[in-house]
């Protein structure tokens, strides 16, 4: 039992783990996009740039400010989330009554500006950041060596996704959010401060992206383009999963990460296009996405 | 203001104009509703009844004039702040949320004041809701959805209920149940503004009827004057 379909089991499991880890980033980012789209009706193209901002902030905190990785993990999502709130209050709030296209264009422009600023300041070659000492090394699971940091990324991401799912689907605050997604005016007529809820939702979605950025910083090269690279795949994930289902975003993200990982094992040439092939097939069979509701 | 001079009027609408974009819907609506009173807004489709209800909560595009709730001017307030003063709104389209269960729908509106009905009292009034409490909100029948839309604003402590077309499209037996419920609510001291198409439903319930035409109150008819004014009412309503 050292090979599976002619592939050494070590390599197979290793690629699956990398796939799962990328899937975690897809899941957190598409989750944020889904709740932002639900509440704000805005397709947040700046999501990748804010993911990148989170990674850069983590790199800066640990290399220049002398903060620990754990402090960065706590501080960066809050700070970047507050930056998101600023964006919502200054810019996005004027667009809610307009067509989706305006929000998409504005956030796309915003992404270009943010990426341009980082490129101007830090150049386009990547920065590297080491993982915290406690998470360095690997453990032997018998069938594979598990790098501890990758295991931590997968575990922390899944816990975060479950917490977010629970908050939205099982709590009172979440019921405001779900109802607000359907009919914000009516929810407001019950005495709930919907404009505030919208602002906080955007802030939370951005904080999620920044959290993913911090997790990614030690394993993906921290460069101004890291967000643009990942966000295209994440949008495909959102299309495949369908808007509107929290669990759908999570499962689709993880699933597509695994599919990508498997493709790297069996047909590496297709690994960067497989997500889009899946997207095309899903669109043909279920235009609203795997978990989406037909309107 | 001491308790002796507390106004008995709870809602005073003065010179209310309302607009949706370019269209001017209300042209100076004036009326007052006393505390604990049940009034109806009658009129043909398009006469401005629903818009009047929505204007009270600030749910229209733009409005001018004056709306006082318990002596407090609310025309410039945002919707959620008006609701927090104790206004419960049951919209014509019912507005049941499909992503929430029946009970989640019922529990959705936050408590804004003390003295609301308990969940048991609401289930006593609408037993169907108890049976269906775990069903998805929009899987309920039309009548159950109407009960849910009304039931959920009774918990919050809101004292002014704005009820829009609560009998529309319902079977006669459900209409009767809604009538009993509205009567109970009036007895409990709720102040109620009822927009109603079904005059036979509204006539025995209401203390006063406001007849609307072209975005204004055209006529006020007290319950005692109803019999004498039936012909006039028929002309207004075209029934």
Contacts of B153 in chain A (CB under 8 A): 190
- Give strand ranges (E) for B43-117: 62-69, 72-73, 87-90
What residues are paired with B210 via a beta bridge? B41, B220
Question: Which domains, from first to last, does chain B contain?
Answer: 9-237 (3.40.50.300)
Least CB–CB distance from A189: residue in B83, B98, B107: B83
Please give the tally of structural domains in chain A.
1
CATH number of the domain bearing residue A35? 1.10.3470
Give the tens place of pLDDT for each residue, B206-227.
Answer: 999 999 999 999 999 999 999 8
CB atoms within 10 A of CB B178: 21
Nearest-angstrom CA–CA distance, A223 and A218? 12
Cα three-residue angle B128-B130-B135, rounded to 5 degrees: 90
Q: Note whether residue A11 is domain-resident.
A: no
Q: What ipTM is given for this predicted complex? A: 0.91
Low-confidence spans in chain A with pLDDT less than 70: 1, 294-295
Min Cα–Cα distance to chain A from B102, Å: 12
> Between chains, do B98 and A188 touch, taking CB under 8 Å as contact?
no
Round to the nearest angstrom and report the end-to-end CA distance of chain B: 45
Q: Note whether residue A70 is domain-resident.
A: yes
Q: Note whether residue A10 is domain-resident.
A: no
What residues are paired with B209 via a beta bridge? B40, B221
Q: Taking a C-beta distance cutoff of 8 angstroms, is the pair A67, A272 a contact?
A: no
Q: Is A128 on the interface with B (CB under 8 A)?
A: no
State whether residue B40 is helix, strand or coil: strand
Q: Taking a C-beta distance cutoff of 8 angstroms, is the pair A88, A202 a contact?
A: yes
Cα three-residue angle B206-B167-B58, rounded to 5 degrees: 75
Q: Note whether residue A92 is domain-resident.
A: yes
Q: Is A271 on the interface with B (CB under 8 A)?
A: no
Hey, what long-range contacts does A243-247 have (CB within 8 A, 24 or more apart)?
A243/A34, A243/A37, A243/A38, A243/A289, A243/A292, A244/A34, A244/A38, A244/A181, A244/A291, A244/A292, A244/A293, A245/A34, A245/A291, A245/A292, A246/A31, A246/A34, A246/A35, A246/A164, A246/A165, A246/A168, A246/A169, A247/A165, A247/A169, A247/A291
Task: Select from B172, B171, B191, B173 the least CA-distant residue to B182.
Answer: B191
Q: Is A181 on the interface with B (CB under 8 A)?
A: yes
pLDDT at A9: 83
pLDDT category of residue B239 using cuts at 50, 70 and 90: low
Residue of B20, B60, B62, B79 best to disrupt the A interface, most CBs of A under 10 A: B79
> Between chains, do B100 and A183 touch, taking CB under 8 Å as contact?
no
What residues are paired with B45 via a beta bridge? none
Contacts of B100 in chain A (CB under 8 A): 175, 178-179
Nearest-angstrom CA–CA distance, A42 and A99? 9
Min Cα–Cα distance to chain A from B153, Å: 8
Dihedral, B148, B153, B154, B158 alpha carbons, nearest 10: -170
pLDDT at B2: 42
Query: In the block, which residue shows the tokens 């079977």?
Result: B171
Nearest-angstrom CA–CA distance, B67 and B85? 13
Min Cα–Cα distance to chain B from A191, Å: 4
* HSE, side-chain direction, 13 A CA sphere, residue A234: 29
Q: Note whether residue A230 is domain-resident.
A: yes
- Characterize the bridge pairing of strands B208-213 and B38-42: parallel
Cβ contacts below 8 Å, chain A against chain B, sum to: 58
pLDDT at B218: 95
Cα three-residue angle B91-B42-B124, rounded to 5 degrees: 50
Min Cα–Cα distance to chain B from A169, Å: 9
> Between chains, do B97 and A178 touch, taking CB under 8 Å as contact?
yes
At B24, give phi and psi (nearest 5°): -95, 110
Q: Is A175 on the interface with B (CB under 8 A)?
A: yes
- Give strand ranges (E) for A107-198: 138-140, 145-147
> Between chains, do B110 and A186 touch, taking CB under 8 Å as contact?
no
Closest alpha carbon within chain A to B149: A186
Q: Is A178 on the interface with B (CB under 8 A)?
A: yes
pLDDT at B60: 93
Closest alpha carbon within chain A to B80: A191
> Between chains, do A190 and B153 touch, taking CB under 8 Å as contact?
yes
Q: How many helices (H) and strands (E) does chain A have?
A: 11, 4
pLDDT at A293: 74
> Between chains, do A191 and B91 touch, taking CB under 8 Å as contact?
no
State whether residue B125 is helix, strand or coil: helix
Least CB–CB distance from A191: residue in B59, B80, B91: B80
Q: Taking a C-beta distance cutoff of 8 angstroms, is the pair A95, A102 a contact?
A: yes
Q: Note whether residue A7 is domain-resident.
A: no
- Over residues B182-196, the mean pLDDT reads 96
Q: Taking a C-beta distance cutoff of 8 angstroms, is the pair A58, A70 a contact?
A: no
Closest alpha carbon within chain A to B54: A189
Residue of A172, A179, A247 best to disrupt the B interface, most CBs of B under 10 A: A179
Least CB–CB distance from B59: residue in A182, A189, A192: A189
Contacts of B81 in chain A (CB under 8 A): 191
Domain encompassing residue A149:
16-285
Give the tens place of pLDDT for each residue, A105-160.
Answer: 999 999 999 999 999 999 988 899 989 988 998 988 887 888 999 999 999 999 99
Least CB–CB distance from A178: residue in B57, B59, B99: B99
Nearest-angstrom CA–CA distance, A144 and A12? 9
pLDDT at B197: 87
> Between chains, do B104 and A175 touch, taking CB under 8 Å as contact?
yes
Residues in chain B: 239
Residue of A171, A174, A178, A186 best to disrupt the B interface, most CBs of B under 10 A: A186
How far CA A72 is from CA of A61, A131, A222, B3, in Å, comes to: 6, 12, 15, 58
At A282, give phi and psi (nearest 5°): -60, -40
Q: Note whether residue A290 is domain-resident.
A: no
Interface of A with B in 193-212 (CB under 8 A): 193-195
> Between chains, do A189 and B108 touch, taking CB under 8 Å as contact?
no
Q: Note whether residue A87 is domain-resident.
A: yes
Count Cβ neighbours within 10 Å for each residue of B41-50 and write b for 16 or more, e otherwise.
bbbbeebbbb
- Give strand ranges (E) for chain A: 3-4, 7-8, 138-140, 145-147
State whether residue B198 is helix, strand or coil: coil
What residues are paired with B18 via a beta bridge? B26, B63
At B135, give phi and psi (nearest 5°): -75, 155
């Amino acid at each position: 039992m050292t090979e599976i379909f002619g592939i050494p089991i070590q390599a197979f499991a290793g690629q699956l783990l990398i796939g799962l880890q990328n899937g975690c980033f897809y899941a957190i980012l598409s989750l944020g996009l889904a709740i932002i789209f639900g509440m704000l009706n805005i397709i947040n193209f700046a999501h990748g740039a804010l993911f990148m901002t989170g990674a850069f902030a983590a790199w800066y905190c640990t290399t220049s400010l002398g903060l620990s990785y754990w402090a960065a993990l706590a501080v960066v999502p809050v700070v970047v989330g507050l930056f998101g709130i600023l964006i919502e209050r200054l810019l996005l709030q004027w667009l809610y009554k307009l067509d989706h296209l305006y929000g998409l264009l504005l956030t796309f422009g915003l992404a270009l500006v943010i990426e341009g600023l980082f490129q101007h300041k830090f150049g386009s070659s990547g920065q590297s950041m080491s993982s915290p000492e406690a998470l360095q090394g690997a453990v032997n699971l018998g069938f594979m060596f598990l790098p501890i940091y990758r295991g931590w990324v997968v575990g922390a991401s899944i816990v975060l996704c479950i917490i977010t799912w629970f908050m939205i689907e099982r709590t009172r605050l979440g019921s405001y959010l779900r109802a607000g997604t359907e009919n914000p005016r009516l929810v407001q007529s019950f005495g709930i401060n919907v404009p505030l809820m919208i602002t906080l939702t955007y802030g939370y979605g951005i904080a999620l992206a920044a959290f993913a950025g911090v997790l990614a910083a030690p394993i993906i090269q921290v460069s101004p383009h890291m967000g643009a690279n990942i966000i295209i795949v994440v949008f495909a994930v959102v299309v495949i999963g369908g808007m509107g289902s929290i669990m759908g975003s999570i499962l689709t993200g993880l699933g597509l990460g695994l599919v990508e990982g498997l493709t790297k094992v069996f047909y590496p040439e297709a690994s960067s296009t497989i997500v889009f092939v899946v997207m095309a097939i899903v669109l043909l069979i279920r235009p609203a996405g795997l978990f989406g509701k037909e309107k | 203001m001491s308790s002796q001079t507390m106004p008995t009027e709870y809602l005073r609408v003065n010179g209310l104009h309302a607009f949706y974009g370019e269209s001017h819907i209300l042209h100076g609506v004036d009326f007052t509703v006393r505390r604990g009173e049940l009034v109806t807004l009658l009129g043909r489709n398009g006469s401005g009844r629903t818009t009047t209800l929505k204007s009270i909560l600030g749910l229209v595009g733009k409005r001018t004039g004056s709306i006082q709730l318990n002596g407090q001017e609310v025309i410039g307030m945002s919707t959620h702040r008006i609701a927090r003063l104790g206004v419960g709104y049951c919209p014509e389209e019912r507005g049941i949320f499909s992503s929430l269960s029946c009970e989640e729908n019922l529990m959705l509106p936050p408590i804004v004041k003390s003295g609301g009905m308990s969940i048991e009292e609401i289930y006593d009034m609408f037993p169907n809701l108890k049976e269906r409490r775990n069903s998805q909100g929009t899987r309920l029948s039309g009548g159950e959805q109407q009960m849910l839309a009304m039931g959920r604003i009774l918990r919050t402590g809101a004292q002014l209920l704005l009820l829009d077309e609560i009998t529309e499209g319902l079977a006669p037996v459900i209409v009767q149940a809604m009538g009993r419920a509205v009567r109970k609510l009036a007895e409990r001291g709720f102040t109620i503004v009822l927009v109603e198409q079904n005059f036979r439903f509204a006539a025995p319930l209401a203390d006063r009827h406001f007849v609307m035409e072209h975005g204004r109150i055209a006529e006020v008819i007290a319950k005692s004057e109803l019999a004498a004014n039936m012909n006039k009412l028929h002309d207004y309503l075209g029934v």
